[in-house]
Structure 1
């Protein structure tokens, strides 16, 4: 059993909107495959396109704050290696419409093969920045692109909101380039912080090899909850812990992002604890990761 065995593999015909996309060199990670953070960005591009088609809203409208949907959760699952060669198609549909929130489902296709799936949830905000009911017109427009699909929200863990529960810490300073048009750190950029935190943990365990962590350790699944805004300037604490190491050699991680004692973001990731070193020898990290289990 692999980390993605329980993830449905949809067909392109399921999605009401399909975007053609050519992968670029900058989309690659050190393993020469499309990065997980790149997929989160592709999902954002797909939402913008859906906004053009369903909401008659372009980037200028979004820049002026006329489309007030804020991402609160995102999930990405990699089902097969994504390489630079060839064209991809990104499918998007609306999987749920709530009182003040809307959820989207995604599929990434190489030909007709689904190589990644995803989901996001966004909340409609009013003039004061708090959640507000979706306008009837917006609800109707989104309803034209309905699709069956799961929610993006990961399970809640009370212990994950306590800084002291995490044995591994990384301080992150926000940069001006991290900001989006809402003048807070963009959700795609925040997703990369959690991936950086996992990479730093792997470096610590492996003894900081030149070139970064070994191929094969990048998570196959990443799920993020955005609990509060992250601002510039600022220094935040990113905490990382191991939730479980299974008999199937799959390791489950949890990350918490803290502004002082306040938890402003949570993430869970699933990956392998096996990799191959530069000499082709297998590396088993299970024992080395044991001291980094979540406390409490």
Structure 2
């Protein structure tokens, strides 16, 4: 069983309103929509890191791994609360953690890895020290 940290453990949080297009034929929010919510969490983290490092240009991070654990059905209509944070800042990559909550209960959790790349080059590139310092501020206390 995967552990779902409480929403307060995540340094970035956002409310997401559910739309009719998010549901499947039985009225539950579908897996594609939930994956999109976690993508929004990764984007939120990258934007926050950019703000912390006062950088106008974003790093060229590429998603290389994602896991999603579905813990409960998400009901429409309504909203979900998304929490996102980092678990690890490596030499060339960062590891995300995210949780999705509805009515105060965890409904899904995700773990993913982004790798830093450079245009025109193959493979991973080292993260700059300024990026690493900013990213460390997004590490969750439970990691």
TM-score range, shorter chain: 0.7 to 0.9
Greater length-normalized contact order (CA 8 Å, ≥ 6 residues apart): 2
Structure 1 residues 235 and 243: alpha-carbon distance in aligned structure 2, compared to 1, 3 A threshold? same
Among 177, 181, 190, the residue aligned to 2:34:
190
Gaps (5+ residues) in structure 1?
1-154, 208-212
Aligned pair partner of 1:261 in 93, 98, 104: 104
Residue 164 (structure 1) shift: 1.6
Q: 2:84 pairs with 222, 236, 240, which one?
A: 240
The Cα offsets for residues 44-90 of structure 1, whole Å up to 9 and x where unpaired, read as: xxxxxxxxxxxxxxxxxxxxxxxxxxxxxxxxxxxxxxxxxxxxxxx
Looking at structure 1, the residues matched to 117 and 48 of structure 2 have their Cα atoms a distance apart, in angstroms, of: 15
Given candidates 75, 79, 82, the residue that maps to 1:231 is: 75
Q: Is the 8 A contact 1:214 1:276 kept in 2?
A: no
- Aligned residue pairs total 129
**Structure 2 stretches lacking a partner, 5+ long:** 52-56, 120-125
TM-score norm. by structure 1 comes to 0.40
After superposition, the C-alpha distances for 1:110-149 in whole angstroms (9 at most, x for unaligned) are xxxxxxxxxxxxxxxxxxxxxxxxxxxxxxxxxxxxxxxx
Does the CA-based 8 Å contact 1:184-1:229 persist in structure 2? yes
Structure 1 pair 205/275, CA: closer, same or farther in 2 (3 Å)? Answer: farther
TM-score (structure 2 length as normaliser): 0.79
Query: Partner of 2:54 in structure 1?
Result: none
Q: CA deviation at 1:275?
A: 5.2
The answer for the alignment partner of 1:200 in structure 2 is: 44
Aligned counterpart for 1:178 among listed residues 10, 22, 36: 22
Aligned partner of residue 251 in structure 1, secondary structure: strand
Match of 1:295 in 2: 141
The 4+ residue runs of structure 1 with deviation greater than 4 A are: none
Determine which structure has more spread, i.e. the larger CA radius of gyration.
Answer: 1
Question: Match for residue 252 of structure 1?
Answer: 95
The answer for the alignment partner of 2:122 in structure 1 is none
Q: Does 1:168 align with 2:8?
A: no
CA deviation after TM superposition for structure 1 residue 276, in Å: 5.5
When residues 249 and 161 of structure 1 are mapped into structure 2, their CA distance, relative to the original with a 3 A threshold, is: same
